[in-house]
Amino acid sequence: MRAFIPDRYGSKVALRLGEMADPEVREDEVLVKVHAAAVNLLDSKLRSGEFKLILPYRAPFVLGHDLAGVVVRVGARVKSFKPGDEVYARPADHHIGSFAELIAVREQDLALKPKRLTMVEAASLPLVALTAWQALVERGQLKPGQKVFIQAGSGGVGTIAIQLAKHLGATVATTTSTSNLDLVRSLGADLVVDYKKEDFEARLSGYDLVLHSQDGKTLDKSLRVLRAGGRLVSISGPPDPAFAEQLGAAWYVKLFMRLASLSTRRKAKRLGTEFSFLFMKASGEQLRALAELVDTGAIRPVVDRVFPFESTNEALAYVEAGRAKGKAVIKVS
């Protein structure tokens, strides 16, 4: 099969389009012909080696964390899928590789794609939709009538999180640039702060939940817009001790994460709020629930640009530049 491969770690390393052996299919796995694959900043961070401490991959390997495609073959113990099924997934860590013509995905990480979506639209969803679900539903426990602040509303996670929060009955505030005000309002945002003209801290207060995706300065300000007892869920760091335990990390990694988040955890405690770091996990069960929301019209994907498979390096550079409104997707076949 053809695949895009980093031969070594490095921020400027171009992915090589090369031939790889077709994936082996274990008893609990499904072989999928990839029709489309979304591009995420996580792909860039893995290529650069930024996550080597927690997600070590031995080069050469295949990048890609999102896909939609058609089942080709199933393992002996697979019960939920059959050849010909149209599916979508965010493969589990250490099982990635959607920048390729074929991928083997664990049955538990796979779901039938939403019926109303094209392959390109479906491929844009898994990682960002799972992140939004796990931040707002699992970790944030967002309830009807509560107020949530979702940063970067026009980004991949933001566009889905706004819609999910509205479906859950929350009042949604978000930040975006002047050119994207209409987009985030069309997704359901109730209060929009143009970060180029305003300081969100001056307009927001008493929030129940913050979905944080920006830098440390923004994190500090976001803690201050929460009510006492409110929660901040961060998908951009710093990693905390609970995440280290979740990883089963070595003692020195646990120590590093404890120290990295110490200042933030202390600030949250002083303010009477809660801080937690979220690194999303694969889940076919949650993707099934999200597919239902898509098919009922509660959530719609936001696709910015579609690139041909041969232009995967260009797609990665586009996402790295921070230009995307919603998602950039590669059309593989």
Q: What's the whole-number mean pLDDT along residues 176-200? A: 97
Return the pLDDT at 121: 98
pLDDT tens-digit readout, 318-329 = 999 987 899 999
3-state secondary structure string, 79-102? Answer: CCCCCCCEEEECCCCCCCCCCECE
**Stretch 50-77: mean pLDDT, rounded?**
94
Q: Alpha carbon of 324 to those of 19, 152, 205: distances in Å?
A: 29, 11, 29
pLDDT tens-digit map of 279-304: 999 999 999 999 999 999 999 999 99
pLDDT given at position 297: 97
Tell me which H or E stretch contains 240: none
> Which residues are CB-contacts of 154 (< 8 A; sequence separation ≥ 6)?
176, 177, 180, 183, 184, 325, 326
pLDDT score of 12: 84
The pLDDT of residue 323 is 76
Asked if residue 117 lies in contact with residue 110, where contact means CB atoms within 8 angstroms, the answer is: no
CA distances from 265 to 60, 211, 260 (A): 38, 16, 10
Q: Which of the four pLDDT bands, split at 50, 70 and 90, describes residue 181?
A: very high
* H helix or E strand, kind and range, residue 218: helix 216-224
Reported as a pLDDT band with limits 50, 70 and 90, residue 103 is: very high
Cβ–Cβ under 8 Å, residues 166 and 130 = no
Q: What percentage of the chain reaches a pLDDT higher than 70?
A: 100
Position 178 pLDDT exceeds 90 = yes
| pLDDT mean over 5-9 | 93
Q: What is the pLDDT of residue 93?
A: 95
> Which structural domains are found in the chain, ordered by start?
2-124+302-331 (3.90.180.10), 127-277 (3.40.50.720)
What confidence tier does 245 reach under pLDDT thresholds 50, 70, 90? very high
Compute the distance between CA of residue 156 and CA of residue 166 in angstroms, rounded to an integer. 16
Q: Which residues have C-beta within 8 Å of that of residue 181, sequence separation ≥ 6?
A: 192, 194
**Pair of tokens at residue 239:** 């990693």
Report the predicted TM-score, pTM, of the whole model to 2 decimal places. Answer: 0.97
Mean pLDDT across the chain: 96
Minimum mean pLDDT range among 153-157, 255-259, 283-287, 321-325? 321-325
pLDDT bracket for residue 111 (50, 70, 90): very high
Residue 298 C-alpha from the chain's centroid: 19
Mean pLDDT for 26-52 is: 95
Q: Tell me: pLDDT of 51 over 90.
A: no
Asked whether residue 42 carries a pLDDT value surpassing 90, the answer given is yes
The whole-angstrom distance between residue 58's C-alpha and the CA centroid of its chain comes to: 23
